[in-house]
Amino acid sequence: MILTDGATRRFLFLQGPHGPFFAKLARRLRVSGATCHRVGFSFGDRAFWTDGASYTAFRGPLADWPETCAALLDTHEITDLVLYGDTRPVHAEAIKLAKARGLRVHVFEEGYLRPWWVTYERGGSNGHSPLMDLSMDDIRAALTQQRSPPIEAPAHWGEMRHHVFYGALYHALVLAGQRGYRQMAPHRGVTVGQEFVLHFKRLVFMPLHWAQRAIATARIKRGGYPYHLVLLQLDHDASLRHHGAFPTTRAFFEHVIEGFATGAPPHHHLVLKAHPLEDGRVPQRRLIGEIAGRFGVADRVHYLRGGKLAHLLDNARSALTVNSTAAQQALWRGLPVRAFGASVYARPELTSDQPVAAFFADPQPPDRAAYTAFRQYLLQSSQLPGGYYSTRGRRQLYRQIVDRMLAEPTPKTAAASAQHLRVVSGTG
């Protein structure tokens, strides 16, 4: 790894994870000599950025953003763009402008191997990740260039309650300061007030939902029937909306439940597990009940609001999803996986492309050796131990991320696949 002189680097931060992660990351980059600026799109962004002198408020309308962003990149002579997720409109436009100028683009996301890691890539993530251009042969060749020992899961730290807390706090701040950013439209399709209410209700009802999940999980485990597990995603999940195969959540439910009714053995059951952060903006339980009743399988289809994924996967026959990263836990166990969207793991060696009814009848498992290589590649290229929301998780992440961001590829006469690895990881 070659580290550049931080004094030559000028970072522009856009929107990050809820909470103080970006502000504290910028503080560490400044210690290296780098200059850091921030563009905020709400009072929530401003509240968590402690250095007011380096903060620029963009107050909209969205049509003015390309011109404003281009001016910021040029005026501050930005060398690096930093953001969380690459699909929201302001981020997608900024990435286009940054790449046209030859700037480095640092993309953070939730971990492909959650819950113990976060994702850091250059250029894009999920369906825009450089990983999408790699075949398994490329990955195996790239692994031979690496000398790092296998990476094991780090120690456990709690993130979920911190994630929920910061989500509620952020949207409360956005609501409180909405007057100053009145022209900015939310990118998730609901108002700021509705977003706050959803986060607040999720925070308040966490104990009740935990009890409901525990009871439902125990009932499924004691049922004694074979079951297939559907891994649901948040309706506003950027990966689902931009890289999925269905126009609505209802369409996904109908496709899977119809295939189950048609292809699964009559003694098999179907368990649809909600995302741990599901906030109720889509009435999933009601939709699933209606669709299962229409196809005559209501007594064999179960909805579970969250729950411990590991416990459910231990006894599942297969897993289905649009493109949830949770599918990686199923692949790690050797379970057959049917994915219906673009994702870094959706490749012939790992996931099935069978018609859904045929999958339920006879699901084809992944190539275990291929997944072992793929997982190791992820750990060496784009996954970092830590988290965005808890103090302990951030501390673990900061130990590695500054060096990764300051790193430049080393010149090598290696194969093209090794070059792909350096693009993904920012290392040599």
Q: Which of the two residues, 206 and 378, has the higher pLDDT score?
A: 378
Per-residue pLDDT tens digits for 21-64: 999 999 999 999 999 999 999 999 999 999 999 999 999 889 99
Q: Which of the two residues, 167 and 146, has the higher pLDDT score?
A: 167
The CATH number assigned to the domain holding 104 equals 3.40.50.720
Structural domain span for residue 75: 2-158+382-425
Q: How far is it between the farthest Cα atoms of the chain?
A: 66
Report the predicted TM-score, pTM, of the whole model to 2 decimal places: 0.84
Q: Is residue 77 situated within a structural domain?
A: yes
Mean of per-residue pLDDT scores for the chain: 86
Q: Is residue 106 situated within a structural domain?
A: yes
Per-residue pLDDT tens digits for 301-355: 999 986 678 889 999 999 999 999 999 999 999 999 999 999 999 999 999 999 9
Judged by average pLDDT, the poorest of 42-46, 202-206, 368-372 is 202-206
**pLDDT > 80? residue 221:** no
Judged by average pLDDT, the poorest of 8-17, 19-28, 288-297, 299-308 is 299-308
Residue 183's SS3 state is: coil
Neighbours of 202 (CB within 10 A): 18
Report pLDDT for 408: 85
Total count of domains within the chain: 1
**pLDDT > 60? residue 415:** no
- DSSP annotation of 352: B
Q: Which of the two residues, 219 and 225, has the higher pLDDT score?
A: 225
Q: Is residue 16 situated within a structural domain?
A: yes
CA dist., res. 313 & res. 316, Å (int): 5
**Contact of 86 with 125, CB cutoff 8 Å:** yes
Q: Is residue 398 situated within a structural domain?
A: yes
Q: Is residue 400 situated within a structural domain?
A: yes
**pLDDT > 70? residue 232:** yes
Q: At what angle do helices 368-381 and 416-425 cross, to 10 degrees?
A: 50
Report pLDDT for 202: 60
Report pLDDT for 38: 98
Q: Is residue 237 situated within a structural domain?
A: no
